């Protein structure tokens, strides 16, 4: 069935935005309805969750080009029902062989982020296509060409621009205007596409057809590879040659994804499978859970419960401590040892939790030293990091056999580098800006997140799976830069401590702190965000000294954090469900009886 017919079926029988679906068969939960339809098409044609994930990823390149695509990378977590194995395909971008620790600070001063991030210097070697292909060859049932078919149709025939894409074009900080190829697609004739406009991407359709016919080598070698290398040699005029990308044809030809075992953690009798380095997502979430576990967060009789000042205060302080550790210790441990065992050791976490005072804000949250519990790393100086972009995408899928995919992918900033590969229609990432801009390497330490040849930059992506008594229960994740970590934490606490359903856990307002300094962001401005984070609770946090909430007596919880898409299985009945986030155009489709 053609994809556009699937979208029509979606209108008739699909659950609407932020809806919940139950099914003994397959379920997809995706941030865009057309991409959800692509995944459902694979399931309806007999494919499994891995096939559906491939189709969703390619379709998202068409309908959410500002967030992810073949010019970027990501992490795909796969649960295989037959064996009970959980494995991760790491297709994170790599620094090219000619990269150096001082490339973003050639004179000892960091290049302005706005310039560096929109120059070829920021482009990492893309991994998405190799990663998807590896997953299909290992566990899929369909050919790469079949999973590309829905995306080809969407790119060739077009789709209507939704309000999220229209807003990202309008509020692009110039990224869709800097390069003529990008402007031609999203600002034809100098006019930004608006909600309801029809977007056709002929060049992207041709690219997907080439890949369908010749496989991933069509991307990593030959004419397309040469076009990628030439495109990333573009630099902002203000930077001159210093802003040119360093990727070579050899970098593309040699790129390979990695298969990784998940990071395993435990919380109140539940088991979590999370993303290990080079992502900081799994370690940081599990650190925060370890610090919070001694407290009865779900017990309102003791002054806790969802949205209580005590609960919120503890969450903020745990976030501050975990992010302080993250800035020092976590990077690509294929290159620099990361003290995973130490960071999650119960005794180390007890020392960190002891710094939290229930009735008082910490003046300063500093990194600890986990090395006594894990002798695999050398302390380093705190990193100087730019802000991470809130744009990425996450989706979750379960098939009728019980296989599950939890997949987060990105091109880093909204619109990535802003560079569209001429004649091929896809954007290149600016992922290398996730490295330290100022290297922290000195005679005593190798910077865990300094730029180095072939190294993967630290990520915040945190695809997560939840198990109970050895049985799969839920898969979820979020976009949102560094706030990804806190969105996943919020949902996990909502499920385990506050007894919410997955849909309730997703819709509830979130709280986030992504720096040791502790500036608080929180939600509450939309009707679906219930129960709310009340002004009285916010005033208590203000009295404790927490910053970022504005003046006393005002609503300081505004804006939006993340976009969680999830699938679950009821342990008792085995029924599969999906839950989607109304913060974007979250969509759930079930396939089967």
Which residue numbers are catalytic?
Answer: 392
Three-state secondary structure readout of 192-221: CCCCCCEECCHHHHHHHHHHHHHCCHHHHC
Asked whether 468 and 269 are in contact (CB, 8 A), the reply is yes
Cis, bond preceding 340 (omega within 30 deg of 0): no
DSSP 116-167: HTTSGGGPPBP-HHHHHHHHHHHH-SS-HHHHHHHHHHHHHH-EE--HHHHH
Q: How far apart are CA 238 and CA 242, in angstroms?
A: 9
Q: Are strands 393-398 and 404-410 parallel, antiparallel or unpaired?
A: antiparallel
User: What is the distance between the alpha carbons of residues 76 and 546, in angstroms, rounded to a whole number?
Assistant: 36
Please give the Cα distance from 311 to 305 (Å, whole number): 7
Query: Each residue of 233-268: b (16+ CB within 10 Å) or e?
Result: bbbbeebeebbbbbbeeebbeebebeebebbebebe
Q: Provide the token pair at 251.
A: 């970098």
Query: Distance between CA atoms of 585 and 574, rounded to whole angstroms?
Result: 27
Please give the helix or strand (H or E) that residue 74 lies within, else none. strand 73-80
Q: Could you count the other beta carbons within 10 Å of the beta carbon of residue 468? A: 13
Helices (H) and strands (E) in the chain, counts: 19, 18
**Does residue 349 contact residue 291 with C-beta atoms inside 8 Å?**
yes
Q: Are 511 and 312 in contact (CB under 8 A)?
A: yes
Cα→Cα distances 108→111, 223, 436, 437, Å: 9, 37, 13, 10
Residue with tokens 């005590």: 310
**C-alpha gyration radius of the chain:** 22
What is the Cα–Cα distance from 513 to 349, expressed in whole angstroms? 19
Looking at residue 420, the DSSP 8-state letter turns out to be B
The DSSP 8-state label assigned to residue 294 in this structure reads T
Q: Is the dihedral of CA 201, 203, 207, 213 positive or negative?
A: positive
Residue whose pair of structure tokens reads 């990105």 in the numeric block: 410
Distance, CA of 376 to CA of 390 (rounded, Å): 32
Pair 562, 480: CB distance under 8 Å: yes
Judge residue 220's burial from the number of C-beta atoms within 10 Å of its C-beta, 0-12 exposed, 13-18 middle, 19 or more buried: buried
Per DSSP bridges, beta strands 258-260 and 198-199 are: unpaired
User: In whole angstroms, how far apart are CA 391 and each of 160, 201, 231, 482, 540?
Assistant: 20, 21, 22, 10, 31
418-422-423-424 Cα dihedral, nearest 10 degrees: -50
Place of tokens 């809130």: 390
How far is residue 497 CA from its own chain's centroid? 24
């Amino acid at each position: 069935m053609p994809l556009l017919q699937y979208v029509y079926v979606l209108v008739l029988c699909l659950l609407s935005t932020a809806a919940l679906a139950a099914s003994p068969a397959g379920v997809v939960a995706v941030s865009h309805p057309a991409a959800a339809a692509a995944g459902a098409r694979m399931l309806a044609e007999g494919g499994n969750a891995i096939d559906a994930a491939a189709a969703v990823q390619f379709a998202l390149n068409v309908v959410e080009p500002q967030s992810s695509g073949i010019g970027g990378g990501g992490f795909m977590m796969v649960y295989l029902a037959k064996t009970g194995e959980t494995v991760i395909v790491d297709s994170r971008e790599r620094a090219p062989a000619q990269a150096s620790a001082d490339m973003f600070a050639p004179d000892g001063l960091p290049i302005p982020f706005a310039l560096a991030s929109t120059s070829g210097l920021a482009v990492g070697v893309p991994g998405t296509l190799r990663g998807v292909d590896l997953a299909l060859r290992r566990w899929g049932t369909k050919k790469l060409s079949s999973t590309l078919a829905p995306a080809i149709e969407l790119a060739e025939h077009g789709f209507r621009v939704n309000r999220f894409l229209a807003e990202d074009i309008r509020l692009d900080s110039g990224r869709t205007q800097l390069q003529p190829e990008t402007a031609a697609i999203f600002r034809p004739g100098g006019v930004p596409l608006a909600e309801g406009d029809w977007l056709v991407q002929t060049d992207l359709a041709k690219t997907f057809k080439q890949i369908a016919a010749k496989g991933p080598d069509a991307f990593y070698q030959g004419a397309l590879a040469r076009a990628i290398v030439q495109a990333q040699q573009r630099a902002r005029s203000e930077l001159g040659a210093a802003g040119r990308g360093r990727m070579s044809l050899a970098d593309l030809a040699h790129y390979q994804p990695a298969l990784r075992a998940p990071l395993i953690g435990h919380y109140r009798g539940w088991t979590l499978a999370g993303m290990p380095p080079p992502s900081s997502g799994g370690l940081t979430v599990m650190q925060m859970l370890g610090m919070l576990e001694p407290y009865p967060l779900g017990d309102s009789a003791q002054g806790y419960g969802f949205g209580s000042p005590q609960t919120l205060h503890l969450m903020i302080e745990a976030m501050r401590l975990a992010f302080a550790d993250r800035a020092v210790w976590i990077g690509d441990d294929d290159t620099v040892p990361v003290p995973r065992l130490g960071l999650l050791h119960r005794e180390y976490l007890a020392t960190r939790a002891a710094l939290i005072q229930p009735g008082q804000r910490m003046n300063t949250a500093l990194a600890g030293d986990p090395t006594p519990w894990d002798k695999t790393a050398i302390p380093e100086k705190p990193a100087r990091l730019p802000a991470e972009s809130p744009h990425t995408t996450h989706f979750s899928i379960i098939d009728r056999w019980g296989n599950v995919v939890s997949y987060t992918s990105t091109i880093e900033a909204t619109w990535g580098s802003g560079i569209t590969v001429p004649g091929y229609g896809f954007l290149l990432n600016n992922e290398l800006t996730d490295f330290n801009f100022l290297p922290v390497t000195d005679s005593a330490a190798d910077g865990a997140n300094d730029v180095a040849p072939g190294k993967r930059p630290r990520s915040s992506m945190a695809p997560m799976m939840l198990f109970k008594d050895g049985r799969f229960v839920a898969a979820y994740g979020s976009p949102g830069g560094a706030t990804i970590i806190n969105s996943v934490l919020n949902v996990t606490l909502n499920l385990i401590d506050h007894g919410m359903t997955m849909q309730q856990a997703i819709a509830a307002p979130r709280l986030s702190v992504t720096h040791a300094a502790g500036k608080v962001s929180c939600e509450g401005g939309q009707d679906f965000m219930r129960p709310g984070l009340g002004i009285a609770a916010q005033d208590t946090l203000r009295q404790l000294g927490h910053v970022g909430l504005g003046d006393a007596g005002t609503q300081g919880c505004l804006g939006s954090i993340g976009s969680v898409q999830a699938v679950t299985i009821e342990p008792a009945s085995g029924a599969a469900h999906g839950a989607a986030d109304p913060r974007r155009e979250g969509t759930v489709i079930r396939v089967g009886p």
